[in-house]
Chain A
C-alpha cells in the first residue's frame, strides 16, 4: 500500500497507465546498486530517488573536485573536497525522504561486489574506467543480476542493457573483449556535460522501466549517441559462445 504522502508525491506516476499504483509499488520494492557517482551517476541517482525507488546503494571512492562540477550536476561548489557518495546520499535524502539510501565509500573488490549483488535487483554501471566495467560485468554474470551500462566521452555516448537472469544474454565482455587497452575516459579526452547527462538519464529511464516491468529498448543492444547530430544508432549484440566471461569456456 502507498501512504497518503506517497500518493501525492508520485501522483504523476499514478496518472500513467504504464506505471500506476502497481508500478509505484514495484519501484518502492526496487533495490538498485549504482556504481560511480560522476556525470552518469549524478542524474541516474537523482531520477531514481525522485521516482521512489525504495532502496538505492551508491558506490564511489572519489572526493569532489572543482573540475567535476562542469558535468556532475548533483554537487555544488561548496561541496568540493567532500566524499561523493556521502554528498550524493544527502542530496538524494533531500530529494526524497521516503526512500532508503546507503553509501559505500570505497572501491569494491569482486567478492564484496558479489555480496552486494545478492541484495539488489539491478545494477547501473556509471563508472569511468575499463577495469571497473569488466569487473562489474563479470560479477553480474556470476550473480545473474541485470546490468545497465552507460559510458560517454567527448560528444559520444554508449548505452547497453544485459539481463543476466537470462542464460542467452550477451555481456559487456562479448562486445568489448579486450579489457587491457587504454580506453577513452573523461580525464584524457574531455566530455560535454549534457552528453554524459543524457546517457545517465537513459540509464535511469531503463531502470524505471525494468522495475515496473515494461519492455526495454536496449536489452542485448548497444545504442550509440552522437551529440553532434543527436542521432542514435542501434546495434544488436549476440552472446559470443567463445566469451571467456559468459560463454561455454568460462
Chain B
C-alpha cells in the first residue's frame, strides 16, 4: 500500500496504524504531531487510525522558540 509522508512516497504494509508507522520510520512518539490529510490526529487516536491507500501523512515537531 502506498502513502505519502511529508510529501515523500512510502510503501507500508496493510493494516498499519500511526503508532506502527512512527516505529517503522524510527520517529520518537514524544513531541511529534501527526496530521492525516491535513487534519491533526490526536495522540490518543494513533493506535486506532489505520492507514489508507494514498493518505497524506504530515509529521512535525513542536517548536518552542520565539
How far, in Å, is B17 (CB) from chain A's closest CB? 17
CB contacts (< 8 Å) of B63 on chain A: these are 151-153, 156-158, 183-185
Which one of B30, B42, B43 has the greatest number of beta carbons of chain A within 10 Å?
B42
A199 neighbours in B (Cβ, 8 Å): 66
Check A238–B42 contact: CB distance below 8 A: yes
Chain B: CB-nearest residue to A157: B63
A191 to B64, CA, bound (A): 12
Q: Given A183-B61, A237-B40, A238-B39, verify A176-B66 contact (CB < 8 Å).
A: no
Any chain B CB within 8 A of the CB of A181?
yes
Please give, as numbers and ranges, the residues of chain A lying within 8 Å of B25 by CB-CB distance.
Answer: none
Q: Check if B31 sits within 8 Å of A151, measured CB to CB.
A: no
User: Is the C-beta of A56 less than 8 angstroms from some C-beta in chain B?
Assistant: no
Closest Cβ–Cβ distance, residue A245 to chain B (whole Å):
12
How many chain-A residues does the 8 Å CB contact rule pick out? 45
For the complex, give the distance between the alpha carbons of A111 and B2 in Å.
50
Distance A236 CA – B38 CA, assembled complex (angstroms):
6
Pairwise interchain contact A151-B44, C-beta atoms closer than 8 A: no
* A148 at interface, CB cutoff 8 A: no
A185 with B42, Cβ < 8 A, contacts A235-B35, A235-B58 known: no
Closest 8 CB pairs of A and B: A240-B42, A183-B64, A181-B31, A186-B65, A242-B44, A40-B66, A176-B62, A153-B65
By the criterion CB–CB under 8 Å, are B38 and A234 in contact?
A: yes
Interface residues contributed by chain B, number (CB under 8 Å): 19
CB–CB A177/B66 < 8 A: no
In the assembly, what is the distance between CA of A53 and CA of B20, in Å? 49
Give every chain B residue within 8 A of A200 (Cβ-Cβ). 66
- In the complex, the chain A residue whose C-beta lies closest to that of B39 is A236
Contact partners of A128 in chain B: CB under 8 A: 64-66
The smallest C-beta distance from A174 to any residue of chain B, in angstroms, reads 6
Report the Cα distance A101→B32, complex, angstroms.
38
A36 located at the interface, meaning its Cβ lies under 8 Å from any Cβ of chain B in the complex? yes
Interface residue B33 (Cβ < 8 Å from any Cβ of A): yes
Q: What residues of chain B lie closer than 8 Å to A174, measured between beta carbons?
A: 40, 42
A222-249: which residues lie under 8 A (CB-CB) from chain B? Answer: 222, 224, 233-238, 240, 242-243
Chain A residues, CB < 8 A from B28: 181
The reply to whether the CB of A55 lies closer than 8 angstroms to some CB of chain B is no
Whether B40 and A175, one on each chain, are in contact in the complex, defined by CB atoms closer than 8 angstroms, is: yes
Q: Which residues in A have their C-beta under 8 angstroms from that of B33?
A: 175-176, 222
Interface residues as binary, B21-50 with A (CB distance below 8 Å gives 1, 0 otherwise): 000000010110101001110111000000
